Amino acid sequence: MLNCIVVGGGIAGLSSGIALHKAGHRPLIFEAYGVPSDGIGGFLTVAVNGFDALHTLGLKAAADHLGPLMSMYLGSNGKHLVDFDYGGTLPDGTTARTMTRSELYSTLRDEAGRRGIRIVYDKRLTAVNEARDGVHVVFHDGTTADGDLVVGADGLHSRVRTLIDPSAPPPRNIPLLNTGGIVPAGVLRPGLVDVEAGRMKMVFGKRCFYCYMQDPDGSIWWFANPLQRSSEDPSTFDADARKAWLTKLVAGDRTIMEAIIAATEEIIRPYTTSDFPSIPRWHRGRLVVVGDAAHAASPSSGQGASMAIEDAVTLGRALQGLAPESIPAALERYESERRIRAESVVEWGRRNAEPKVRGQFKRVFEDLLLPMVFRGMAGKSKDNFDWVYRHHIEWDTANSAAK
């Protein structure tokens, strides 16, 4: 049994802890923030490949909260382009789901607790000292911990990543901002909402890309991706200025977005978008990174949470039943299994974001092409996207030769 130190208590860290426990080891999760993050964050999508990975961890039913997502793409003139099936279905009928980040986090944290996985808060990693027989980690408050390996699930600005390779490149900027909010059920005028429950409407607006969807409970969830401009910093806007800024961006579009923004009591403070196309090393000795620490994808991929869960399952599988001396070889197998797929998804997500980043002239030109592009995509075989959505990790075929 390995003593596994997991740095980071978010989606990637909790999933890794659960996978390592399933593999027969003893994970201990250290979270930099002082308290659990219930209620924090916006919402996210778990695609069918993410649910497949959750099924391996015994968690698919627990996370299966909301109705299926079908994406409806529109031009800036409000013209309907095409309906999209978001990643198809699993054999048992499971489809992609949208849930708040807090819902998925709470589900994973509660399961970690049921499995006896301890989470220690207010522990920010500063150093790791490796020895032949293990690792010694040091936190900002001077406390330490000892284990057999360190799993860095500490996000885009990972400390573990820099310890593995101090020359690792910084995240790559995507010139889009992220913001959004939720309108409670019954707030908007009856009959105003033009999208049925379980469907999302994506809009290439005149000045901004945005999306809104109706939850089965009647609430409206939405996000927007305004262009990041050097002349303004919307992250500094107060609540009223934020609402006025977004209202101006959607004004003139033939959608209900102005009404949605007006009805949103708390709009998420805009934040920048980044991704990680590639880093030289995912592991070194007894240190390894998972999730955004290794391969952050643009939100336009819809794969951030799913890829983190896949990482966790692959790592747990690679370490299943191993002794400490086999750790470096197992981490090499983990990286070799994940790197090509993860980097391909990152680039796919960046391509998905490109139509959102455009000037006024380009917008007019693309409005003429978007109907043909999306109808062409819808007309192609679903097999074109199977590499993303049909990925399956077979847990029971662990490399017994390394045991």
Is the pLDDT score of 384 beyond 80?
Answer: no
Pairing outcome for strands 118-120 and 26-30: parallel
Contacts by 380-384, CB closer than 8 A, 24 or more apart: 382/85, 382/88
pLDDT at 401: 36
Both tokens assigned to 324: 């400490």
Question: How many Cα atoms occupy the beta-carbon half-sphere of 119 within 13 Å?
Answer: 26
* Rg of the chain, C-alpha, whole Å: 22
**SS3 assignment, position 4:** strand
Q: Give me the amino acid identity at 341.
A: R
Percent of the chain scored above 90 by pLDDT?
56
Q: Which domains does the chain have, with CATH numbers?
A: 3-171+276-394 (3.50.50.60), 172-273 (3.30.9.30)
Q: How far apart are CA 198 and CA 334, in angstroms?
A: 36
Q: What is the reported pLDDT for 334?
A: 97
Mean pLDDT of the chain: 86
The answer to whether 148 touches 128, Cβ cutoff 8 Å, is no
Contacts of range 75-79, beta carbons closer than 8 Å, 24 or more positions apart: 75/204, 75/367, 75/370, 75/371, 76/203, 76/204, 76/205, 76/206, 76/253, 76/363, 76/367, 77/254, 77/367, 78/253, 78/254, 78/255, 79/371
Any idea which of 35-44, 134-143, 277-286, 338-347 has the lowest mean pLDDT?
A: 35-44
CB atoms within 10 A of CB 378: 14
DSSP conformation letters of 178-223: EEEEEEPTT-SPTT---S-BT-EEEEE-SS-EEEEEE-TTS-EEEE
Q: In what order do the strands lie in the sheet containing 80-85? A: 80-85, 70-74, 200-204, 209-214, 220-225, 172-183, 271-275
Instruction: Give residue 207's pLDDT.
Output: 87
* Mean pLDDT in residue range 305-314: 96
Supply the pLDDT for residue 37.
85
Summarize pLDDT for 87-105 with one digit per residue, the tens: 677 888 788 888 888 889 9
Residue 149 banded pLDDT, cuts 50, 70, 90:
very high
Q: How far apart are alpha carbons 261 and 183 in whole angstroms?
A: 8
170-181 per-residue burial string, b: 16 or more CB within 10 A, e: under 16: ebeebebbbbbb
Best CA proximity match to 28, nearest among 41, 18, 40, 38: 18
What CA–CA distance (Å, rounded) separates 22 from 28?
A: 14
Entry pTM = 0.89
